[in-house]
Structure 1
């Protein structure tokens, strides 16, 4: 890989990229929370909120495999710029609709789906460009910084989203999102991202390229097991995330303030985990970190569900631990994909996995409320936590996973 990649001044390049991404991700978090709050206030319908969330996920699930093919064929820098500008255009359209007071719920759904199309291209392109820009030894630290940016948006987004919506209105909120996406695309103009040489680019049909991407995953048994484990974890964690507010309100008899407190504590845990990854750059095997993250998160979720209803303080503290555990597996998992597959396949691998892993989120959104009502929200925490912890333990006994880091695609 070093023969096709220029990695000089990579820290300066990532400084520019991260600055743009911070504006973009934070403004998107503000807009997302404000949109959910606006739909909730306007309709009072949980069904409307679920449809809005599905509108934001469905295009990424459907388009993922196709987007990955184009990401591997196109220049990744211009793919990211185009995706950001498309998202900015959609945000500007939503802002205009609100400003002209011609908003219809169906039009919001359509525009949310269009914004999701941009995300289907941007996220895999960004992840697949990272190992082209940075040395392998820095990938864990880069993943840690990315987690920090995400955690800042989780902590600040809801608070700023509510303030901006109630003070300035949705049109201003979406203009901020437009500005954030524009800044992200503009910052990329100052970063040189080397292209994969033409002789290594695919000359096959789209279907053949998609099939080759799936085959590359299946041929690496260790990564296949890890991806399956991620899907299993998402399947059980997403319903828990969907009903977390109910855990505070119903089981612990909390208030709306305490709901926001729990979200903030979770973000703090993410932030601490991301900072540790970015500064520590541990020499521990990435597979071991993933197993530790799965097992730790599962154990904490199960303990949260087993707490007596009067132990809200303990629940709040454990929520920080939940957030802290997440970067332990998301960061190393991303790095393993970046190092286990050749650069020519990374767009397809990231997009295909992203598409598959989003499916549990859809199921969680559709059925989490019903499941929690039938068995009790606290039991959902216990059952899901046990499964997640067991998933981590099982990975420890799979030889292809344990020997995964003995080989690299680069």
Structure 2
């Protein structure tokens, strides 16, 4: 194993305590960094608020319908529309003023939250309303992500993009852990209406910070301007004309699918061998791991070779998924979940740095829309196939006396939940192999050379 002192894995910041301290002090005085921190705080608060409403609305739907199918329908309505919206509106991100676009997405989210609260207050909120509202809010959030990512490139020095990515992942992790805990208490105290009021306030806070932040309108375009229809396939053609970026995208598509497949089935896996309380404990441990990974990336800045980092952390995620299939021990399941979630910010952050450093700033809106579309497509696809794979194929095959159970039973056990364990082992192994195959692809490894920051780097001019 390589030493922690290996140059490939050193922080991208200045070497030495004195140099690091002086460098960070200079960064805090940098106008782009100050703007990024302002926007980041707003996004952190808004993410927590949105998580409150998402969790509370899910509880409300399940309590009113007592139907897993209808609950899953709302989840599908949140996952599917962005896959249509992003390819259609992605080409416009590089044309529109970035600040106005970010503010508009926040305002759409605030308006949708207000509608939920109003309908709940009037007693007329229905499943159909919920489906439409989550479709609108998920589409606005999906459009905001590539615009936000492309804006960070303009604000943050090139050699500090790893830390910025770490802070973004940290904010997401905190919202994923804190929001359900708060919402579980708030929904009993103030109900869905009260939760939406709080969420609306977080949107206003985020929007206010966006309005006062000195966000540049976008990177100046180079070359001849193109029409919308010519730009529509541009992001796809750009990615697949660069072999390294295409390999990175396809690796994450494969790893995301296999990991999402495991995520969908993890709850029934645990409930077949333990209690809901144990499941809650395991997921809490995973949340701690996710926050820890984001915090580490924020301080560390990520590996000097982010392509290698993306491959290694993706492979570790696959290994953790596979390991979860081999045990029924709650502590060991918690350990596997901790490793999995700890790696998520690190693999995503490493990938983010590669894209931000290698794709020209004026093209990032279109290209990042393609990234988001591919990443989000794993959720509905895995959700559609996970249930049938478990219920109709692997669970029956791992019942006592079945041939597959006789073969794999000595390793995985037999009976309820062991078919799901087979799926986790296979999915994790395929995720690990996908990452390993990508790591052997030379153009992907060469992205590290293209993404290497210069000794001193400055972002694009920030307008005041």
In the superposition, the TM-score normalised over structure 2's length comes to 0.83
Q: Which residue of 2 aligns with 1:338?
A: 356
Q: Which residue of 1 aligns with 2:315?
A: 295
Give per-residue Cα distances to partners, 1:64-104, cap 9 Å, x unaligned.
11221111100111100010011100100110000000111
Query: What CA distance in whole angstroms lies between the structure 2 residues aligned with 1:379 and 1:176?
Result: 43
Query: What CA distance in whole angstroms lies between the structure 1 residues aligned with 2:337 and 2:66?
Result: 28
Does the alignment pair 1:321 with 2:351?
A: no
Does the alignment pair 1:149 with 2:171?
A: yes
Compared CA separation, residues 242 and 222, structure 1 to 2 (3 A): same
Does the alignment pair 1:247 with 2:269?
A: yes
Query: What CA distance in whole angstroms lies between the structure 1 residues aligned with 2:145 and 2:452?
Result: 21
Q: Which residue of 2 aligns with 1:232?
A: 254
Match of 2:202, SS state, is: helix
**Does the 8 Å contact 1:65/1:210 carry over to 2?**
yes
Further displaced range: 364-373 or 179-188:
364-373
Q: CA deviation at 1:59?
A: 1.7
Q: Which residue of 2 aligns with 1:352?
A: 370
**Does the 8 Å contact 1:69/1:348 carry over to 2?**
yes
Query: What CA distance in whole angstroms lies between the structure 2 residues aligned with 1:197 and 1:164?
Result: 42
Q: Which residue of 2 aligns with 1:372?
A: 390
Compared CA separation, residues 172 and 226, structure 1 to 2 (3 A): same
Match of 1:243, SS state, is: helix
Q: Which residue of 1 aligns with 2:459?
A: none
Q: Which structure 2 residues correspond to residues 94-105 of structure 1 after superposition, within 5 A?
A: 94-105=116-127
Q: CA deviation at 1:118?
A: 1.2
Match of 2:125, SS state, is: coil
**Does the 8 Å contact 2:61/2:71 carry over to 1?**
yes
Compared CA separation, residues 198 and 144, structure 1 to 2 (3 A): closer
- Specify every segment of 5 or more residues in structure 2 that has no aligned partner in the other structure, as ranges: 1-28, 395-418, 454-464
Match of 1:175, SS state, is: helix
Query: What CA distance in whole angstroms lies between the structure 2 residues aligned with 1:170 and 1:193?
Result: 34
Further displaced range: 362-371 or 382-391:
362-371
RMSD: 1.7
Q: CA deviation at 1:15?
A: 2.0
Query: What CA distance in whole angstroms lies between the structure 1 residues aligned with 2:224 and 2:75?
Result: 35
- Specify every segment of 5 or more residues in structure 1 that has no aligned partner in the other structure, as ranges: 1-6
Query: What CA distance in whole angstroms lies between the structure 2 residues aligned with 1:298 and 1:290?
Result: 12
Instruction: Return the match for 1:267 from 251, 270, 287.
Output: 287
Q: CA deviation at 1:120?
A: 2.6
Q: CA deviation at 1:378?
A: 1.1
Query: What CA distance in whole angstroms lies between the structure 1 residues aligned with 2:177 and 2:108?
Result: 26
Query: What CA distance in whole angstroms lies between the structure 2 residues aligned with 1:202 and 1:109?
Result: 41
Compared CA separation, residues 326 and 197, structure 1 to 2 (3 A): closer
Instruction: Return the match for 1:304 from 317, 324, 332.
Output: 324
Compared CA separation, residues 91 and 408, structure 1 to 2 (3 A): same
Compared CA separation, residues 300 and 409, structure 1 to 2 (3 A): closer
**Does the 8 Å contact 1:155/1:263 carry over to 2?**
no
Q: Which residue of 2 aligns with 1:81?
A: 103
Q: CA deviation at 1:408?
A: 4.8
Query: What CA distance in whole angstroms lies between the structure 2 residues aligned with 1:304 and 1:408?
Result: 34
Query: What CA distance in whole angstroms lies between the structure 2 residues aligned with 1:197 and 1:302?
Result: 43
Match of 1:122, SS state, is: helix
Instruction: Return the match for 1:396 from 439, 442, 454.
Output: 439
Query: What CA distance in whole angstroms lies between the structure 1 residues aligned with 2:102 and 2:224?
Result: 20
**Does the 8 Å contact 2:98/2:218 carry over to 1?**
no
Compared CA separation, residues 202 and 64, structure 1 to 2 (3 A): farther
**Does the 8 Å contact 2:255/2:435 carry over to 1?**
no
**Does the 8 Å contact 1:302/1:381 carry over to 2?**
yes
Q: CA deviation at 1:169?
A: 1.0
**Of the two, which has the highest radius of gyration?**
2
Q: CA deviation at 1:119?
A: 1.2
Does the alignment pair 1:35 with 2:57?
A: yes
**Does the 8 Å contact 1:66/1:206 carry over to 2?**
no
**Does the 8 Å contact 2:33/2:155 carry over to 1?**
no
**Does the 8 Å contact 1:27/1:180 carry over to 2?**
yes
Q: Which residue of 2 aligns with 1:386?
A: 429
